Amino acid sequence: MNDVPGSRTCLYDSASLGAVMDRMAQQATGLLHGSGPVAVVGVLRRGAPLADRLTQRMVQRHGLAPPLRLDLSVKRYADDLTLLFPDTQFAEAPHHAALDLRDHTLLVVDDVLYTGHSALKVVDWLTRKRPAAVHLVVLADRCVTTLPLRADVVGLRLEVAPTDIVECHVPPYEPDFSVQLLRPAPAGRAT
């Protein structure tokens, strides 16, 4: 996923993340109590398979009726946190233009909440579809958002150094489900 020189530590492996996802599914299902139609929105890339995992758990373990599932594409940072675009890029798929989410309760699922720019762009677009409510669900919150945005369901709160990189490895993009911390080597030194 990332070729930045430095030290890498596996913070959570697949087994421990299974328990985290179970807790997240329980919390997310609780947010939906008494709501009307539900849609689970994955933020591409890694938020989409996380949304699938979360949806599967909510349906199988908590009796949620199968919700509408869709994915949205936003991009601002590369995996190594290099700024790709000065403004978050949102790509509306043609089939989403006429999407009717009026009165739906939405769960927006992403892997890492960092500054909040990507999440805010998604929430802004979704609110134009007139949902009843929008809830943000993230696997890892770095606790450094720069915008007035907070996640409603958080799997892991990770207070790490600003230069550290939190990598969520999520199949099918990586072979194993894990959360890793990459601590880049100081400039001019590779480890």
Contacts of 185 by beta carbon, 8 Å cutoff, 6+ apart: 5, 6, 7, 191
Residue-wise pLDDT for 44-54, tens only, equals: 989 999 999 99
Q: What's the mean pLDDT in 133-138?
A: 98
Quote the pTM value.
0.88
Which amino acid appears at position 145 of this protein? T
Burial class (CB within 10 angstroms; exposed 0-12, middle 13-18, buried 19+) of 72:
buried
Residue-wise pLDDT for 45-86, tens only, equals: 899 999 999 999 999 999 999 999 999 988 755 555 565 556
Please answer whether residues 149 and 121 qualify as being in contact, where contact means their C-beta atoms are separated by less than 8 angstroms: no
Q: Which CATH class is domain 15-28+37-160?
A: alpha beta
pLDDT at residue 186, as a whole number: 80
